[in-house]
């Protein structure tokens, strides 16, 4: 029996879904949404706050502030509430409305930066707002998930180690790339402890994490409009870029089987399923994909027909109906 005293203490439920039944794909899905933040981001959020407290950066009157497109904002809101800290989440119009409401429900302040910077980047505009706010208010503490080593260390020490323990014969691991925390933590762990494991990084089309061509993206989570400082592009064996429409198809296909997953999860699963099919792996091959989040926060977006038609055209809906 697991007993916790704070919402920030439940970090891993160790739930895996065998997707042979749902997709006919020999893939184990590590579901990271079964905690009070509903995503994989609770682990780095807790670790970044703990590290800042150890270093004396957070005091009684401190105000945590962070730029986030969604899941990390929720995770930090959970940690801040559990520890009695104030938190300001700086987001943009791409943040799911349900996510913004959830952050507010947890007692945090939500600031929406409505204009991108001169290059069209909301991320750069969010960071600039955080810098200005910190300059104006000395109580503000920017954890800076984009450069904070505690981000990837949380996954090195926990996520990767747990997967390695559960799958001693692991052959291939699929990991989404956002800020790079999950990817780099897992990649460094397996390079050091199980170097034969093939590491596949999954990114969204339109992201520039791996020198890809920049383009429009509508689903928050994976991908970035500027290169992420934490990412070492030499660590993954391969990078797969997934069109957002394919991620939507995968999410809806799984929802029809009762598995309501988030956009980041759909992206990673789409990449994994395609890779495994192309390589014709047999039953002896063990593959795991990390599903960062569940799907409730995407009801107004990827599970809404009108939203999908607006962002990906009617052909996407037509193809979804033929699944």
Catalytic residue among 62, 225, 264, 270, which?
Answer: 264
Q: Domains in the chain, start-ordered, CATH in brackets? A: 7-38+153-321 (3.40.50.1100), 42-142 (3.40.50.1100)
Q: Are 70 and 91 in contact (CB under 8 A)?
A: yes
Q: Is the pLDDT of residue 229 over 70?
A: yes
pLDDT per residue over 264-283, tens digit each?
999 999 999 999 999 988 88
Instruction: Look up residue 132 and give its two tokens.
Output: 């200005």
Q: Is the pLDDT of residue 1 over 80?
A: no
Indicate the pLDDT class of residue 316, thresholds 50, 70 and 90.
Answer: low
Percent of the chain clearing pLDDT 90 (strictly above)? 75
Q: Is the pLDDT of residue 318 over 70?
A: no
Distance CA 26, CA 21 (A): 9
pLDDT per residue over 74-104, tens digit each?
999 999 999 999 999 999 988 888 899 999 9
Q: Is the pLDDT of residue 322 over 60?
A: no
Q: How far is CA 248 from CA 32, 77, 141, in A?
A: 19, 27, 36
pLDDT at residue number 269:
97
Distance CA 23, CA 44 (A): 30
Quick one: average pLDDT of 173-189? 96
Q: Are 207 and 267 in contact (CB under 8 A)?
A: no
pLDDT at residue number 261:
96
284 is a catalytic site residue: no
Quick one: average pLDDT of 154-178? 96
41 is a catalytic site residue: yes
Percent of the chain clearing pLDDT 70 (strictly above)? 97
Residue 175's DSSP bridge partners are 201
Distance CA 118, CA 132 (A): 17
Q: Is the pLDDT of residue 196 over 60?
A: yes
Q: Is the pLDDT of residue 110 over 80?
A: yes
pLDDT higher for 105 or 322?
105
pLDDT at residue number 105:
97
Indicate the pLDDT class of residue 320, thresholds 50, 70 and 90.
Answer: low
Quick one: average pLDDT of 279-296? 93
Q: Are 160 and 185 in contact (CB under 8 A)?
A: yes
Q: Is the pLDDT of residue 132 over 60?
A: yes
Quick one: average pLDDT of 188-205? 97
Buried residues in 276-314 as b, exposed as e (16+ CB within 10 A): beeeebeeeebbbbbbbbbbbbbeebbbeeebbeebbee
- Residue 155 has what DSSP assignment? I
Indicate the pLDDT class of residue 120, thresholds 50, 70 and 90.
Answer: confident
Q: Are 96 and 303 in contact (CB under 8 A)?
A: no
Catalytic residue among 30, 39, 41, 265, which?
Answer: 41
Q: Is the pLDDT of residue 6 over 60?
A: yes
Nearest to 50 by CA among 147, 151, 131, 146: 151
């Amino acid at each position: 029996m697991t007993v916790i005293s704070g919402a920030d203490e439940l970090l891993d439920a160790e739930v895996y879904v065998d997707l042979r039944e749902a997709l006919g794909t020999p893939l184990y899905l590590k579901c990271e949404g079964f905690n009070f933040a509903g995503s994989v981001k609770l682990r780095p959020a807790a670790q970044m706050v703990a590290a800042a407290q150890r270093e004396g950066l957070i005091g009684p009157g401190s105000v945590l502030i962070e730029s986030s497109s969604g899941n990390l904002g929720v995770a930090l809101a959970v940690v801040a509430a559990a520890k009695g800290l104030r938190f300001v989440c700086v987001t943009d119009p791409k943040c799911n409305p349900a996510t913004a409401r959830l952050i507010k429900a947890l007692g945090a302040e939500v600031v929406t930066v409505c204009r991108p910077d001169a290059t069209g980047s909301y991320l750069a505009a969010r960071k600039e707002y955080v810098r200005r706010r910190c300059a104006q208010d000395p109580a503000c503490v920017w954890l800076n998930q984009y450069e904070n080593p505690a981000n990837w260390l949380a996954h090195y020490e926990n996520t990767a180690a747990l997967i390695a323990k559960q799958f001693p014969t692991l052959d291939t691991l699929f990991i989404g790339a956002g800020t790079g925390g999950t990817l780099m933590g897992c990649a460094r762990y397996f390079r050091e402890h199980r170097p034969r494991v093939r590491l596949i990084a999954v990114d969204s089309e339109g992201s520039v994490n791996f020198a890809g061509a920049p383009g429009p993206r509508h689903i928050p989570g994976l991908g970035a409009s500027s290169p992420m400082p934490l990412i070492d592009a030499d660590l993954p064996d391969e990078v797969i870029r997934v069109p957002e429409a394919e991620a939507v198809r995968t999410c809806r296909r799984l929802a029809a089987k009762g598995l309501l997953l988030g956009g980041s999860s759909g992206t990673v699963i789409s990449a994994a399923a395609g890779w495994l099919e192309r390589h014709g792996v047999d039953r002896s091959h063990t593959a795991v994909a990390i599903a960062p989040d569940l799907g409730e926060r995407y009801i107004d977006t990827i599970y809404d027909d009108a939203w999908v038609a607006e962002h990906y055209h009617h052909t996407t809906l037509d193809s979804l109906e033929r699944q």
